Structures are given as C-alpha cells and as structure tokens.
Structure 1
Amino acid sequence: MERREGYPNLDLKQSGDLLRYRIRKSGYSVRDIQDYLFLSCPQPVYRWFQGKALPSVDHLYALSRLLGVHMEELLAGPQENPVYREVFGEKRYLFSYLEQLRIGLFVQ
C-alpha cells in the first residue's frame, strides 16, 4: 500500500525501541509483561521490541495504565527519536550532536 504525504504513520522500529525503553525504565521484565497481559508466551513482547509488530489497542491501553503514561507515549512516528530525546534531553549538547549525526552533518 502506498503511503500518502502528510498522513501520520507509525514507525514500528522507533515504537519498539520506545516501548522497550519505557518497560525497562519502569523495572518490568518481559516475563512481567507477559504475565500482566495474560500472554501464553513472551514472543509478542519480543516482536514489539524488535519493531516487527505493534501491540493491540487493548494491550497498549493496559501497558499505558501499568506504566503510568498515555498510550501515545508508547508510539513513535517516523523521524522521531523519543528514546534519544528522553535520555539526552537534559544534555542538549549530546542531543544536538546525535541529531546532527542522524541527518549527516558530520559526513566528510
């Protein structure tokens, strides 16, 4: 399916990275999430982390309640680096450097 310009899309890889970061930051393991969501195996959680799939709306809602964040804070769009922004946000110079690396300003 063709993507339309201006239509907001989700980035599965960035969303997976963000979800993994928020879960680990909160001190939960994959097994904890599996048990909390009544999943029969941990594979769906690993697929989310790898950016191969997204949680269902029900699972997103449950995770948002568990982690104390809004559902939208567990998802990322293209060109967003929410994990970098949160980790390096206080250190503006590092965040700026990472952004410049990302867009190729330091290419020789």
Structure 2
Amino acid sequence: MSYKPHVFRLGQLTEPMYISINSEKTGANLKSLFKNNGYSVRDIQSVMGFENPQSIHKWLSGRSLPSLDNLVILSKVLHTTIEDILVVDGDVVFLFNLTWTIHLNR
C-alpha cells in the first residue's frame, strides 16, 4: 500500500496553527552543528561576512535567532536543512500533529 498525502485547501484549515521555536535549544543545536562540521565561531563569522561575532554568540546562547536569510546560509554551510537547525517546542509539535490528525480523519 503506498502512502498518498492528503492535500489541504485553505478553507479546510479552521484552526490557527502556532509554533514556538526554542531559542536556547536551537543555540545548542547550532553549537553542535558547528562542532560536527569543524567550524569555529570565527569561521562562521567569516562566511557570513560579519564584522564581529556578537550575533553568532547571541544565537549560540539562545538570546536571539538567526534571520531567515542567515538560516538559509547556515543550512548550506552546515549541510543541513533549516528544519534541522531550528528546535520547535515539543508540546506545540504535538498539538500541530493532533490538529493534522483530526483534519485527516474527517
């Protein structure tokens, strides 16, 4: 039996969906990705074209998140996807999956 994904139309989605990105865990994830790929903060600073490393240190500490533009660059440099860089809070993912399950079973 092959899996056939359900296609949703905008009118079918009656409940708003929210996600919450955990900035501290995303920072820890970035730190791990840097290490696994052999990059230092200075290496990433150079690739990103930043004059100083403060923004990167803020990402790693969870005080801020990279912009969408910077996430695209990071995903290319770190050979991964934006989805694998960002850490979404688990309870929100559960609600998201529950909502989709409810819609799928209608």
TM-score over 0.5 (shorter chain)? yes
Match of 2:84 among 73, 88, 93: 73
User: Secondary structure in 1 aligned to 2:50?
Assistant: coil
Match of 1:19 among 30, 40, 45: 30
Calculate percent identity across the aligned residue pairs: 33
Could you give the per-residue CA deviations for residues 35-74 of structure 1, whole angstroms, max 9, x where no partner exists?
Answer: 0000010010100000000011111100100111011111
Consecutive aligned runs of 4 or more in structure 1 exceeding 6 Å deviation: none
Q: Which structure exhibits the higher relative contact order, with contacts defined as CA atoms closer than 8 Å and separated by 6 or more residues?
A: 2
Tell me how large the CA RMSD over aligned residues is.
1.7
C-alpha deviation, 1:33, in angstroms: 0.3
TM norm structure 1: 0.66
TM norm structure 2: 0.67
Larger radius of gyration: 2
- 1:50 equivalent in alignment to 2:50: no
C-alpha separation between the residues in 1 aligned to 2:90 and 2:42?
31
